[in-house]
Structure formats: structure tokens, C-alpha cells
Amino acid sequence: MKILKYSMIVFLIVAMMGLSATWFDPNTTVGASESDGCLSVIKNMVEAVNNHNIPSYINCFDESNRKDMQNFASHYPSAEFFREERCKLVSIKELPKEIIPAIGASISKNGSLDGERFFYCGIDIKVNKEQKWLYNGINYRVIIMTKEGNNWKIAGIVVPSFRVLVDSGYGFGTNEEANAVKLEKEMESTGIVRNPKGDIIEDLRPRKAYPGEKGLATVGDKVVTTSNGQVRPNSVKVYFTSSTNLNHWGSVRASVPLYDYVQDVLPNEWEGLWPSESLKAGALACKMYGWYHVYHPKWNYSPYWADVKDNTADQVYRINSRYPTTTQAINDVGGIGICRNDGNIFETHHCAGSESDGGRHGGYMWQYGTKYWAESPRNRNYDYMVHYYYDYSSSSGNQLVKYFHY
């Protein structure tokens, strides 16, 4: 009887908010008032977008976002902040944190995801100009909420892996969502971006081949012979926060060729003088992280409109910081990608870790851990490291990982 009453309360809350929503399990330990706090913030954010009210919009986000958004508004007062003409929240439900790593919907480097909550939303959007994952009609996002003092704030709005989310049983089951899965599949396998009507709105296909990107690729003494139907994206759209990048590009964001991006990421995430096998493992992790987020943008909302940022929120990118040994490692694994056993690419998290044997099957490649494994007498190669950290992890959907060539 108590559960029934609780369900009715939740239903009435959602109905009064005007949402056609699928709500969380009434048996959850989260209280109704706490959840309502999250919904109020999300609703306020949508209203601020509709009104193009920048201060109200910024106030819905956490401190890190507020700082970047305020910097954008003050340094680029004449630049476009909102790209939506209008939007309406049409469906929402809370996701369990266990599924979040597999759908690439986390923001922080907090592997436990403690203190964060995740809401899967359908948002009906009207725009003047359609772009990747921002088109006329219902767009799907995962909104990450975090506590700041006693208040809930938005920590991020991510385009998740729809195929993994739906296959895992957490979808809405709508025709629009099924179409999003179809668009995602075509995008990853062809590099062509379409809107729900089937019109081509972007072309992400590579413009040129880079070292190793032809013929058969090898992993240790094994030959990779399957392509997995993946198309390497031409570039990754980066939002710049560092003055070095801003001065070089003369803009707050730019589409950086993926190869160049990885060259200027790896030396900032791994040490250039570390063993070559450690650097090869890092090259794969950094490349696939950028690759994944081209198709599943992490910052596809106002005012960023980018796949990744150039700081520790993602991977540290510094223009012209490339180093001979790290570039060689990138070339050594050129033409090789990694994916889940079912063929889906995934977010290849990595973190500092420690120079030890920890982190096994944790879903985060330990940077110092790769150094530990590569050095004598352990003398492990990058193939060992990839499987050590990503196999059977939450990031890979608890599956083995495998290689593909492109």
C-alpha cells in the first residue's frame, strides 16, 4: 500500500510538470523531494533556453560550467550563445549509475560516480540550422546532476550511445528514439550525419590517410583482419579554455584533425620518455576517446557546441606540444582501433593511477600503470594493457574488448 501511494505521488508530480515521462522505480531510496529538485533545475534550464536568458541558464549549472560559460559570455558578447529557437521537455527518466560508463555518459573522472545522478531526456527542439545531434524534432540527452551545497546543479549534458542504452533495456521505446539509434549506426559506419528526415547535414569522413591507415594492421604478432564497420572521423571539435590554444586558433572552438589532436594530447597525458609499449597503449586510449566523442559529443550544448574540451574535463590538448616518441607511438598503432566484443566503440577512460598492478578490469587505463607493465622485468606490451584495463569492465559493458583496423 505504501508503494502504491508513493507511485501516485510521483505520477502527480510528473503530471503537474506537464511531462510525458517515464519515471524512476518507486522502490528507489531517493526521496521524491530530492528528485523533484533535479527536475525543477532541468525544467528551469529548458525555460531559460526558450527565453534566451543567459544568466538564468548559467545559474542552472555547477561551478565549473558557470565559470566557462561566464568567460564565454564576457569574452564573446556578440557570439551566438544559444542555437535553439525553442525546446520542450517531453520525456524523462532516471538511469541507474551502473549503466552510465557503458553509454559514455559520465562527466567527472570519479569512477564510482558517487553523488551524481543521471536523467535520460527527450527534448523537442526547433533550430534554424541543423547540425550533428541538434536537429528539428526530439533529441535525446543524458543530463548529469550533482549536489552543490544543498542544491542540485547540472554538471553536463551528454549525447550517449543510444544503441547500448536501448539494447540494455533503458530506452523509451519511441519511434524517435529508434530513429536516433539508426542515425547513430549510420554515422559511426559511414561518417555521414543525417537528420530524422534523412537529409545529410554533415560529413565526418576522413579527408586523408595517416601513418598505418592502410592494409592489414598487426597487434603484437596477431594480424587484425576485420574492419568492424567503423569509419575514423576526420576531426574532433574542441572547445578551448587555454590561452595557448585560443591564441593559436583565434577562436573558442575548432575542428582539429584527429591525428593532430592525438599528437598534441598524448604528451600531456603520458610522459614522452616512458617505454614505447606504454605510449602505444596511451595512443590507443587517447585516440579512441576522441573518436568516441566525435560520434557522442560530451559538450553538445550552449555555449560549447563541441565534442570535447581541451582540459582535464576530457584530455589535455595543447597545440604544438607533440613529441617525437609519442608521435611514433601513435604511428605504431595507426590503423588500429579498439571496441567492445559486440562491435560498439566505447569511451576509453584513462587516469593517472599509480605505478602498480592495480586497476585490473576497472575500465580506466592507468597511465602510470602502463609504465609499470612496460618496464622490465614485467615487459608487457600494449595489447596486454588494453585487455588488462578494459576487459570485463563497466566501460566495455562487461565484455571483452577487441581490435579492428581501418
Looking at the structure, tell me whether residues 60 and 174 fall in a common domain.
yes
Looking at the structure, tell me whether residues 165 and 216 fall in a common domain.
no
Q: Tens digits of per-residue pLDDT, 384-402?
A: 999 999 999 999 999 999 9
Return the minimum-mean-pLDDT range out of 14-28, 105-119, 318-332, 376-390. Answer: 14-28
Looking at the structure, tell me whether residues 80 and 141 fall in a common domain.
yes
Q: Please state, rounded to an integer, the average pLDDT across all residues of the chain.
A: 90
Question: Residue 252 has which C-alpha cell?
Answer: 573558442
Indicate whether 265 belongs to any domain: yes
In the predicted structure, residue 175 carries a pLDDT above the cut 80: yes
In the predicted structure, residue 164 carries a pLDDT above the cut 70: yes
pLDDT of residue 137: 97
At residue 221 the predicted structure's pLDDT band, cuts being 50, 70 and 90, is: low
CATH number reported for the structural domain that contains residue 92 in this entry? 3.10.450.50
Indicate whether 200 belongs to any domain: no
Looking at the structure, tell me whether residues 155 and 234 fall in a common domain.
no
Domain extent for 292: 207-405
pLDDT of residue 212: 85
Indicate whether 383 belongs to any domain: yes
pLDDT of residue 230: 87
pLDDT of residue 108: 72
Total domain count for the chain? 2
pLDDT of residue 220: 58
Indicate whether 301 belongs to any domain: yes
Looking at the structure, tell me whether residues 42 and 178 fall in a common domain.
yes
pTM summary value: 0.90
Looking at the structure, tell me whether residues 125 and 169 fall in a common domain.
yes
